[in-house]
Structure 1
Amino acid sequence: MGERPGETGRALLSTVAGGPATQDPGFESGVRLPVPMTELIGRDEAVAEVRALLGSSRLVTLTGPGGVGKTRLAVESAAEVEEVRLVELAATGDPVQAVIEALGLRDDGVSAGPVERLVTALRDRRLLLVMDNCEHVIDRAADLVSTLLNAARGLRVLATSREALAVPGERVWPVPPLETEQGVRLFAARAVAADPGFALDEGDAKTVATIVERLDGLPLALELAATKVRALGLRELAVRLDDRFRVLGAGRRGAPGRQQTLRAVIDWSWELLSEAERVVLRRLAVHADGCLLEAAEQVCAERGVDVVATIAQLVDRSLVSPGPRYRLLETVRAYGLERLAEAGESDVLRERHAAYYTDLAERARLRGPEQGEWLRRLDAEGANLRVALESETHALRLVNALGWYWYLRGRRGEASAAIARALASGTGEPKERALAAVWHAVMTLSTGDEAEAVPYEELDEAGQAFADWFMSYVRWVYGDYMVHGVRVERALAAFRRRGDRWGVAAALCVRARLALIHGDLAAMREDGERSLALFDELGDGWGRSEAMDTLGLLAEIRGDYGESARLRGEGLRLAEELGLEISFSLSVLGRTALLMGEHALADEYHERARRLAVEHSYKSAEEHAVVGLGLSARRQGRLDEAEALLRPWLTWLRQVDGQPGVALILAELGFAAEQRGDLRAALALHREGYESASASGDPRAVALALEGLAGALPARDAARLLGTATAIRRSVGAPLPRAERGDVDRIAARARAELGEREYDRLHASGEGELGEHLPRAFRGGPCQQPAAEGLDPLGHADQPEAPAEP
């Protein structure tokens, strides 16, 4: 590319000092600025900034990639200057002669050299030179500009180049692509010029915005694209931009050859590169949305090429964005991929790329204090990871490495599809395929679909423990709780044998939740607190948030809503700091707000949770949020709305064996029917709810069903059932808090009014003594009991081992 100012510059200065020369009488002619044929759109602020720089600096260089509009901006910025000349360098290899011609200097026999003639002509003049397209003669142009500015105090230079001149005193102003809104305005204006019938409506504006973004906001590309609208239409044009160089291949008459097509614009830059720069540029194109320097060094490596130094040169040439993340414009990337294919390197580079990003994902520390940092890093590499997943050689390892990342980010649908593709490829060792099957089952179950059985026997001990824990974690509120209990105990024992403290903390958290279902609040507290302490020691934000939610639920059950809100609020803060999926966190805060009588706040939390859950295809979180909205609606007397929200979820909950959820919804629907006075419907709903509650094994759910039945039955039965429900709640250390007594107080008041205080108290005490053993014949079912685990669990292996004793 030639030398920088140095020996050549000294030679020029020597020429200047060689002797006097007279001012050329032809100076008043020369090349003035062209009159633009179209309005400059979207550059008002840029013009103002460049003019301000020209007021304070004698050399301003506009840099940027081809097609970004450097020349047009320079012409507009210089338009108000009285003495200005345009020096067009694209078609010449001699910048000195180009300046002479631009000034209109005549050769009238003066013996002085050309540079001396320029110095003499400019020494006492106030003039702005616009030196356009310096990049292909960058060293000679830089030397000339340095010489002239040193000799002529009244001279200013506004240069355009794909790289800076790098001379003292230079102010570099990188010309940015147009922002989307500006690009839409430019595209629309040029489309109307090409087709007067074109009109931009709201729907078209979105398509044009897509076109602008895909063409990187480059004004030249947008102007070329706008001329195609009449022939192709907007939507067809947008679709065909995958082949942008062919679609935008027709020339613009009257434009320089390098600007007639999109390919010509990039060809111009490519031809100016060294072989090392071409190697690195085409290999950088294999990255999607850029890369860090570490990735570039490994993926773009070539013997004898200093990748770091070469990238720095490409940044200087406006072909790569400055770091720390090095990006190519999509147009440059598309060009680079074509050059990669021409060099026969496509397959090799894709494999290098996939190998690097698979290794990166496997190195990610997503458990512990570095969790947030690695989550953000994987976020930034999302596009590269998706490209790497296309490699059959690496896809299975990569999905296993990304599984926890996907789960934490709530991207279950994306994960499920990627894992299914990796499994369908048929590659990988049996252990890898079995682990991928676990991830696929978890993601599938989270989206509310049925999952296939996992080949448990193919997993090693660590894999089996992980599968036992994870399946129980995502399913703890659905299915057979004895099965979940066996799996969690098995996982906990394996984690302890392996010294896996994170696994121990995670298993204790799930075991605490299962203790809730069995009514053992003391065990729930013990395991929840031990889980939180371990996650605190490990510095794991996700785990702390999970353990805080468990303890917050315990505080809610005991009626300590302030403590519940504190714990869950802190858990939400941690989750938000990490950018985790927070729909459940929002819902549980909504429940706490509801119990505190803050209905508007509860509805806000639940609605936010619902929107996020739908966005992330998280079916169980969506159910939890919508049920919360239904609970709030009934408590505010909007019975029709409550039923409309709640009833549709019964089918889904039955499909996933969510008995506690079924019992809760049936209780709510039963209470709504009772409040309307439809006791027949209320009785049927509460009878069905009791069966679900009894099957769930949750004493609190059974107590709720009995309270609902009390409202649908005669006063004598109501009094006894309310007594039984009170005794059940007391037996598990969870008496009904004041905030949740609205239904019970209403039903008890009716029974007292009919029976009188003394008879009501006698029957209530009788019910407390029965504790479910002498239930009225008004409903089917039996006393609360734990269901037995039989057959195979969801992992596909028998539940014959007893839960291991805790050390």
Structure 2
Amino acid sequence: MTAILAHCPYAKVVCTSARPIRHPDEKPVVVRPFSFPAGFADLPVEKLRIKPAVEIFVHHRLVRKKQDPLEASDVRTVAEICARLDGIPGVVAAAAAQATLEEVLALVRAGEFPEGTGLGEAVSALFQPLTPAEIQALDALSVCEDGFDLNAAKAVAFSDRIDARLASAILNGLQAAGLIQTFLVDKQPRYRLLYPVRVVCARRLEEGGKAAAVRKRHRAFYLALAVEAEEHLGGPDKVWQTRIKSEIRNLEAALAMRWDEHALRMAAALRRYWYRAGRFYEASELMQRALQGVVESDRGETKAKAKALAGLGSLLSAQAKLDEAREACNDSLAISRDRFPKVAAEAHNALGAIAHSLGEIETARVHFQESRKLLLGVRAEDWLYVNASNNYAGTLNESEEHQEAEKLCISIAVSAKHIEYPHGRFVALTNQAVALMYQGEWRRAEGILDLAKKAQEEGKRPLAHWFLNEAIIQAELDEYTAAAKTFIQVLESVSEQPDPRFVGNLIGEVAAFFCRIGRFGDAAKLWGAAEAPQDKCPIPLNEKRRIDVYKARAKEALGERPYGDYVYVGKQMDESISVKEAVQIFRAVLNS
């Protein structure tokens, strides 16, 4: 290259290389990996075909293999290959020279980049410009799942002698070399090894006999992170919720490394995150494994065990495994009752929720009240206390002690606002509005619901519960058109991921509204939908009883009279409908 340019001083050369060629007139331009968006597989073929990585693959395949342009059916295969290779230009180009698309895809899926092939050489070339220290850091970071932040990188891959500034400089250098990707989560940088890089580094780490020591550092860091996060999870602290969401795969990998007392501490610390994230099934399995590990090691009755049992009870309750859930919570209470009052309060709160799901309102009320007393006894008037108090207020409403419920809810709303817990305030105000509705004070209830909506918007939570109560008030005030529109909003808000605990109440109220306006057949169809939800988790028993109450009221008011060609009101349908179909029925009602 130097000789050519010496004889042709006005020539300009464009060439590709894994690293700079060190010519004095060289102007290097770094070509970054071409990333693929999440859900790229659902994109139309036309859009996939114009992705830069796909264009590189197709071009090199045409040049090297002398093949005709790809058929539309092959474009998706190429897109998957390019996405798995993280769009690294040189590696994508080398992959295009392999024998068949199916063979390339099989190699990439298996993480195989054979030596002596163009693909293997292209991946190896990525590491050539690096120093031994940089390669060692990459190897260590390969144990991280789904990325890592600067603190994790420092703990796992760098010695204590390297400060955060130097560690950040090394990571930025690796990003500039096209080996790691940087992205922001809650305005904080996170890093991720590109897939081919991570595969090679992980293999080299195992072969070098250093994997066990690195994983030990990884586990120690994430155990400390889980313990530090515990008190911030489940409440209003969104910063910690976001951080743990970003790190959950690392945390679960560290958890499953060895089922011992450290795994139990980590599982206990993550119980609230798992519940709030809706990961009931996977989390309950992990919790049971952690508890079993402690049984086998015979470490005795610890605070972590009490927390884990209470958390397991909540996770099982959300799956409607109420007998198992109650047993776990009672076991937690047996350990914590006289030793760990906050854990005992958590167990009582979970037992109250289980009793409530079974329709045992008085038992639920006792548990919620006991939870409140325990928290007050240790002056823990935090979000746990707000949650227990909101649950207690709900049982007061169901026991028809509406004035008492209203007074308590006012106090809870003030406490929630004081600790900056918008969702707790929303629930308190909603319970207060329900108490007012039962007392026939519909206009006051409507005003309180407006405050509840503001609290929920402040907490950036879904508004489905608010919309439901607003629709009930509008129906009671004979504002049928407004009520129908509001019901559509609430149905659409749960149509994608319906919560069966909420759907039972929702469908009952919708069916009652249909009866008010003479749509008896549609009401019966909706009752069928409520009794056979599309989710794994069945409707709790107390919600089924509410549906039966709505049916009984309708039959009492209307007798056994058929309405046109519709079925009798209250008769259970053999076939149920989905929530989306309920929206369509409602739109038809609105149009008529």
- TM range, normalised to the smaller chain? 0.7 to 0.9
Rate the CA distance shift 1:540–1:265 in 2: closer, same or farther, 3 A.
Answer: same
Q: Give 2:43's aligned residue.
A: none
Deviation at 1:662, TM superposition (A): 3.4
Rate the CA distance shift 1:593–1:606 in 2: closer, same or farther, 3 A.
Answer: farther
By relative contact order (CA 8 Å, sep 6+), the higher-ranking structure is: 1
Q: Gaps (5+ residues) in structure 1?
A: 1-97, 106-120, 146-156, 162-172, 252-259, 687-807
Rate the CA distance shift 1:274–1:449 in 2: closer, same or farther, 3 A.
Answer: same
Deviation at 1:538, TM superposition (A): 1.0
Structure-1 separation of matches of 2:526 and 2:58: 45
Q: Which amino acid aligns with 1:514?
A: T
Is the aligned partner of 1:290 residue 2:147?
yes
Deviation at 1:208, TM superposition (A): 5.6
SS at match of 2:72: coil
| Native 8 Å contact 1:606 1:628 kept in 2 | no
Q: Give 1:410's aligned residue.
A: 278
Q: Give 1:500's aligned residue.
A: 380
Rate the CA distance shift 1:207–1:474 in 2: closer, same or farther, 3 A.
Answer: farther
Structure-2 separation of matches of 1:657 and 1:604: 21
SS at match of 1:135: coil
Matching residue within 505, 509, 517 for 2:398: 517
Q: Which amino acid aligns with 1:479?
A: G
Q: Give 2:369's aligned residue.
A: 489
Q: Give 2:586's aligned residue.
A: none
Please show how residues 716-731 of structure 1 align to structure 2 within 5 Å. none
Q: Give 2:345's aligned residue.
A: 465
The superposition leaves residues 640-665 of structure 1 with CA deviations (integer Å, 9 ceiling, x where unpaired) of: 23212213545855756853343234
Matching residue within 303, 306, 312 for 1:440: 312
Structure-2 separation of matches of 1:129 and 1:185: 22
Structure-2 separation of matches of 1:484 and 1:413: 24
Q: Give 1:167's aligned residue.
A: none
| Native 8 Å contact 2:359 2:542 kept in 1 | yes
| Native 8 Å contact 2:280 2:316 kept in 1 | yes
| Native 8 Å contact 1:284 1:296 kept in 2 | yes
Q: Give 2:170's aligned residue.
A: 310
| Native 8 Å contact 1:285 1:337 kept in 2 | yes
Structure-1 separation of matches of 2:405 and 2:496: 29
Is the aligned partner of 1:130 residue 2:130?
no
Q: Give 1:624's aligned residue.
A: 505
Structure-1 separation of matches of 2:349 and 2:409: 16
| Native 8 Å contact 1:191 1:227 kept in 2 | yes
Structure-2 separation of matches of 1:278 and 1:328: 12
Deviation at 1:546, TM superposition (A): 2.1
Rate the CA distance shift 1:581–1:265 in 2: closer, same or farther, 3 A.
Answer: farther
Q: Give 1:12's aligned residue.
A: none
Deviation at 1:513, TM superposition (A): 0.8
Q: Give 1:218's aligned residue.
A: 88
Structure-1 separation of matches of 2:552 and 2:379: 44
Structure-2 separation of matches of 1:675 and 1:222: 71
Q: Gaps (5+ residues) in structure 2?
A: 41-47, 184-188, 533-537, 573-592
Matching residue within 607, 617, 631 for 2:491: 607
TM-score for the superposition, normalised by structure 2: 0.76
Structure-2 separation of matches of 1:208 and 1:670: 64
Please identify, of 370-379 and 182-191, the stretch whose mean Cα deviation from structure 2 is larger: 182-191
Structure-2 separation of matches of 1:669 and 1:190: 73
Matching residue within 200, 204, 214 for 1:349: 214
Deviation at 1:609, TM superposition (A): 3.8
Deviation at 1:497, TM superposition (A): 0.9
Rate the CA distance shift 1:264–1:443 in 2: closer, same or farther, 3 A.
Answer: same
Is the aligned partner of 1:533 residue 2:414?
yes
Please show how residues 4-15 of structure 1 align to structure 2 within 5 Å. none
Please show how residues 24-39 of structure 1 align to structure 2 within 5 Å. none
Deviation at 1:675, TM superposition (A): 5.5
Deviation at 1:411, TM superposition (A): 3.4
Q: Give 2:191's aligned residue.
A: 326
| Native 8 Å contact 2:313 2:350 kept in 1 | no
Matching residue within 424, 429, 442 for 1:559: 442
| Native 8 Å contact 2:406 2:436 kept in 1 | no
Structure with larger Rg: 1
Q: Give 1:274's aligned residue.
A: 131
Matching residue within 111, 118, 123 for 1:244: 111
SS at match of 1:553: helix
Rate the CA distance shift 1:514–1:210 in 2: closer, same or farther, 3 A.
Answer: farther
Structure-2 separation of matches of 1:528 and 1:208: 59
Deviation at 1:501, TM superposition (A): 0.3
| Native 8 Å contact 2:555 2:570 kept in 1 | no
Count matched residues: 521
SS at match of 1:318: coil
Q: Which amino acid aligns with 1:213?
A: A
Rate the CA distance shift 1:299–1:425 in 2: closer, same or farther, 3 A.
Answer: same
| Native 8 Å contact 1:446 1:619 kept in 2 | no
The superposition leaves residues 228-265 of structure 1 with CA deviations (integer Å, 9 ceiling, x where unpaired) of: 6847379xx36x6342224x7673xxxxxxxx11x322
| Native 8 Å contact 2:551 2:569 kept in 1 | no
Q: Give 1:15's aligned residue.
A: none
| Native 8 Å contact 2:425 2:452 kept in 1 | no
The percent identity for this pair of structures is 19
Is the aligned partner of 1:659 residue 2:545?
yes
Please identify, of 475-484 and 180-189, the stretch whose mean Cα deviation from structure 2 is larger: 180-189
Deviation at 1:272, TM superposition (A): 2.7
Structure-1 separation of matches of 2:182 and 2:357: 50
Q: Which amino acid aligns with 2:123?
A: I
Rate the CA distance shift 1:130–1:545 in 2: closer, same or farther, 3 A.
Answer: same
| Native 8 Å contact 2:520 2:569 kept in 1 | no
Q: Give 2:524's aligned residue.
A: 643
TM-score for the superposition, normalised by structure 1: 0.57
Structure-1 separation of matches of 2:367 and 2:447: 31
SS at match of 1:245: coil
Q: Give 1:232's aligned residue.
A: 102
Q: Which amino acid aligns with 1:548?
A: L
Deviation at 1:426, TM superposition (A): 4.3
| Native 8 Å contact 1:630 1:643 kept in 2 | yes
Please show how residues 250-261 of structure 1 align to structure 2 within 5 Å. 251=117, 260-261=118-119
Deviation at 1:581, TM superposition (A): 6.3
Rate the CA distance shift 1:475–1:585 in 2: closer, same or farther, 3 A.
Answer: farther
Rate the CA distance shift 1:269–1:220 in 2: closer, same or farther, 3 A.
Answer: closer
Structure-2 separation of matches of 1:289 and 1:474: 35
Structure-2 separation of matches of 1:285 and 1:277: 13
| Native 8 Å contact 1:506 1:531 kept in 2 | no
Structure-1 separation of matches of 2:221 and 2:100: 45
Is the aligned partner of 1:102 residue 2:25?
no
SS at match of 2:522: helix
Deviation at 1:674, TM superposition (A): 4.5
| Native 8 Å contact 2:18 2:126 kept in 1 | no
| Native 8 Å contact 2:181 2:193 kept in 1 | yes
